Structure 1
């Protein structure tokens, strides 16, 4: 049975086909990718060169958002859903660098991601907690149930969906996922969310090309759709904007085809 399990697990993380997390890792300049991932990534970049900029700007948005929550909003608990492959400056490293007692729960159900999570997602401070939950974001109640083992649901939680909900084809399902998680966290919690936006011909060509490579399709959203994810929440200035323009700390002109925001639950 153990050999069977290992064989099944190996099949799941096979390098023979393009893998969403590894393609994204490649665009970000990481090393955890294979030839099939690089071929798919290059095919998308050929028709949509800005994808590399988007990938890097997405990490900068995450860094700024977590810094804001930990340093300015006083949040010391984070639920990062759809973690992806660990790279530089992950959520726990940023948060615990500001608040040594920060507690972070990463959520993913990708076996490759979980292998890396076990190896790399370690506490950076003695007083903090860093752990992961093996769950699918289509099961918010399971995520919340497991997160209760680490997070205090009487205190604010920073809920994060960082570029992952584009893999959900049905927008109503996407909204249901976000709302069910936000319904479960207390007042004073925050939603941090970004996704690729249907704001140009080139990005649409890139999305189509990604599907052609055999990778998991990514469904772009209109900015007004992404705004619905924040309904009933109090937006943090500047609201929903291209991710490169969310509190960049300097004048930034990049109108990336990805929109994001941070908003507080009243």
Structure 2
């Protein structure tokens, strides 16, 4: 495990809702507490179809990693905002396609750190690592990731359901540009982001309730705002779309999904 965090005591406040644990609750996981479930239920009351959306986002991760590791031959992945381990984690999907795949996970939630051992089970040919880091400290994050990943070779940068926790004042576009600048040509940027312009009548109220109950706030963005993250890159088909539509067959109805997603190649 990267850094010296395994020797530090892990302090988890179970009385305050946390984004990773609320998300785990929506996914049907068990690594959550009463405060997380109460916050999750408050949001679900305003946005009843939200569970379909988070499940579809997880399925999007699986399809993207299968495509990158399989069809595109990407052997390295930087998964930022990992969340609590569940089914079909990035290293499991990538190493099923190619056992030599190398995966670095990044998160700054203490409970994710507590479960990091689940993320470090690699094939003998591959490698996995976990960094206890903050996306906003981008240079430090990249330096730590370079202990496992070779940034002179293509890497898949995964930012799934994390950029909405970066407020405008923290310059999310500059953060993404810094990540892309560190990546070799032939790398890929993958983003999924909750939308402000899909189901605005319910999504706005759901976001308001989320910010009232969860310490880690969120900033929803429109399709145009999400598209800006891909400036200068080559979006692959089908372009910027709802995440259940990205190279998928039949899925949940459009009205259940409230997020934009895209995959772009670094030229």
Q: Determine helix, strand or coil for the equivalent of 1:229.
A: helix
Partner of 1:182: 180
* Aligned residue number for residue 192 of structure 2: 194
Q: Normalised by the size of structure 1, how large is the TM-score?
A: 0.93
* 1:148 paired residue among 142, 146, 149: 146
1:216 shift after superposition: 2.0
Query: Which of 120, 128, 131 is equivalent to 1:130?
Result: 128
Aligned partner of 1:100 in structure 2 is: 99
- Corresponding residue for 2:16? 17
2:262 is the counterpart of 1:261:
yes
**Contact 1:40 / 1:215 at 8 angstroms: preserved in 2?**
no
CA distance in 1, matches of 2:163, 2:245: 21
Find the aligned partners of 1:137 and 1:209 in 2 and give their Cα distance: 24
Q: Cα deviation per residue 1:190-228 (whole Å; 9 max; x = unaligned)?
A: 000011000222111100011122432211000100000
Counterpart residue number, 1:66 = 65
If asked which structure has higher relative contact order (CA below 8 Å, sep 6+), I would say 2
Check if 1:83 corresponds to 2:111. Answer: no
Segments ≥4 residues shifted beyond 6 Å: none
C-alpha separation in 2, matches of 1:150 and 1:217: 31
Task: Give structure 2 stretches of 5+ with no counterpart.
Answer: 1-7
Counterpart in the other structure of 2:4: none
Task: Using the TM superposition, give the Cα deviation of residue 253 of structure 1 relative to its aligned residue in structure 2, in angstroms.
Answer: 3.8
Contact 2:19 2:214 in 1 (8 A): no
Name the SS for the 2:115 alignment partner.
Answer: helix
TM-score for the superposition, normalised by structure 2: 0.93
Contact 2:79–2:104, Cα closer than 8 Å, also in 1: yes
Q: For residue 118 of structure 2, what is the aligned residue in structure 1?
A: 120
Contact 2:136–2:170, Cα closer than 8 Å, also in 1? no
For residue 96 of structure 1, report the CA deviation from its aligned partner.
0.2
Q: Which moved more, 1:88-97 or 1:132-141?
A: 132-141
CA distance in 1, matches of 2:252, 2:162: 24
Report matched runs for 1:48-67 at 5 Å.
48-67=47-66
Whole-angstrom CA distance in 1 between matches of 2:214 and 2:20: 14
Distance apart, 1:250 and its partner CA: 3.6
Deviation string 1:95-150 (CA, Å, 9 cap, x unpaired) is 00001000000011222111111x20133411010111121100111111111111
CA apart distance, 1:254 = 2.3
Match for residue 32 of structure 2?
A: 33
Aligned counterparts of 1:87 and 1:161: Cα–Cα separation in 2: 17
Q: How many residues align?
A: 257
Measured against aligned partners, the alpha-carbon deviations of 1:164-215 in whole angstroms (never above 9, x if no partner) come to 1111111771101100000001000000001100022211110001112243
Q: Which residue of 1 aligns with 2:244?
A: 244
RMSD: 1.4
Report deviation, 1:251. Answer: 6.4
Q: Which residue of 2 aligns with 1:217?
A: 217
111 and 247 in structure 1: CA distance in 2 versus 1, 3 angstrom threshold: same
